[in-house]
Amino acid sequence: MFEKMRLQKYLSRCGIASRRHAEDMIREGRIKVNGVTVTEMGTTVSPGDLVECDGEPVAPGEKPVYIMLNKPAGYVTTVSDPEGRKTVMDLTDGVNERVYPVGRLDYDTEGLLILTNDGDFAYRNTHPKHQVSKTYIAEVEGEPSRETLQKLRDGVMLDGRPTSPAKVELIRQKKRCAVLRITIHEGRNRQVRRMCEAVGHPVRSLKRVAIGGLRLGSLKPGEWRYLSAKELKKIEVDRNG
Ligand code: URA
């Protein structure tokens, strides 16, 4: 049994979508309550109400699951793609719950992506106010100087405002490219690629290797595994700490 709650919260509790995405679904007229399409954001639902999404009844109760996927390049991090590209959902064979990605990685970016059916968790982890740090390995063109690396750390202008302080280490200098480890605390669109481009070192390849203290480890591209309770707790602590 659940208490009376707003429709978008109910949908996220049921694992249909994050709260923000649930609002879009309501606006799009995909949700019915007791047979009536609802587009009002203030609607509440009570025990006994029949809620439907795209004509299918939805109810809380599915156990929450949390998955770590090593996303390969060449996949979009949406549940479906209007252009018909492969999505990360194509890699979740064996997952019985209706999970969806928490946050995004670019089509060409590899690495650590979390999927869940827990809308509240997804909401907490994508809200700009409570961003957990994200660590990337970037192979960039050229030979970044010390000054350039410092610029990346201090902040570069993107969309008219500086990026917040980042941790940047040169891991390896090769002939015409360098490997950097970059940790950022924001989630702006294509942030790492644009930061590197802005200082004259376009990214050749990008991989996310950690979210807070959660590490990708030895998971191969395209593989997934469940997160342990300990790992989950770590993310919550990193976010709040
Ligand atoms: N920064 C990027 O540029 N791309 C990603 O996918 C993630 C962070």
Residues 6+ apart with CB under 8 A from 126: 18, 20, 102, 103, 187
Give the residue, by CA position, lying nearest to ligand 1 atom 4.
190
Residue among 70, 75, 109, 139 whose CB has most ligand 1 atoms within 8 A, to mutate:
109
Query: Would you place residue 2 in the very low, low, confident or very high pLDDT band (cuts 50, 70, 90)?
Result: low
pLDDT of residue 41: 86
Per 3-state DSSP, the chain is made up of helix, strand and coil in percentages (nearest 5) of 25, 30, 45
- Closest atom of ligand 1 to 106 CA is 6
Give the residue, by CA position, lying nearest to ligand 1 atom 3.
190
Write phi, then psi, for 128 (nearest 5 degrees): -55, -30
7: which 2 tokens? 């429709």
- Catalytic residue check, 106: yes
pLDDT of residue 241: 61
**Spatial CA neighbour of 194 closest among 156, 166, 146:** 156
Using the mean position of ligand 1's atoms as its centre, give its distance from the Cα of residue 102 in Å.
14
Q: Which of 81, 90, 93, 106 is catalytic?
A: 106
pLDDT of residue 197: 98
Residues of the chain with pLDDT > 90, as a percent, come to 67
Over residues 56-76, the pLDDT tens digits come to: 888 876 688 999 999 999 999
Using the mean position of ligand 1's atoms as its centre, give its distance from the Cα of residue 134 in Å.
10
Distances (CA, A) of 149 to 146, 161, 209, 211: 5, 18, 20, 22
**DSSP-assigned beta bridge partners for residue 167:** 183
Using the mean position of ligand 1's atoms as its centre, give its distance from the Cα of residue 192 in Å.
5
Ligand 1 near 71 CB (within 6 A): no
Residues 6+ apart with CB under 8 A from 199: 144, 148, 151, 152, 156
**Spatial CA neighbour of 188 closest among 107, 111, 126, 108:** 126
Query: Which domains are delineated in the chain?
Result: 5-57 (3.10.290.10), 66-129+214-240 (3.30.70.580), 133-211 (3.30.70.1560)
- Closest atom of ligand 1 to 184 CA is 8
Separate counts of helices (H) and strands (E) for the chain: 6, 17
Over residues 146-187, the pLDDT tens digits come to: 999 999 999 999 999 999 999 999 999 999 999 999 999 998
Checking if the pLDDT of 124 tops 90, the result is no
* 34-43, 84-93, 160-169, 232-241: range with lowest mean pLDDT: 232-241
Separation between Cα atoms, residue 77 and residue 211, nearest integer Å: 16
Over residues 198-226, the pLDDT tens digits come to: 999 999 999 999 999 899 999 999 999 99
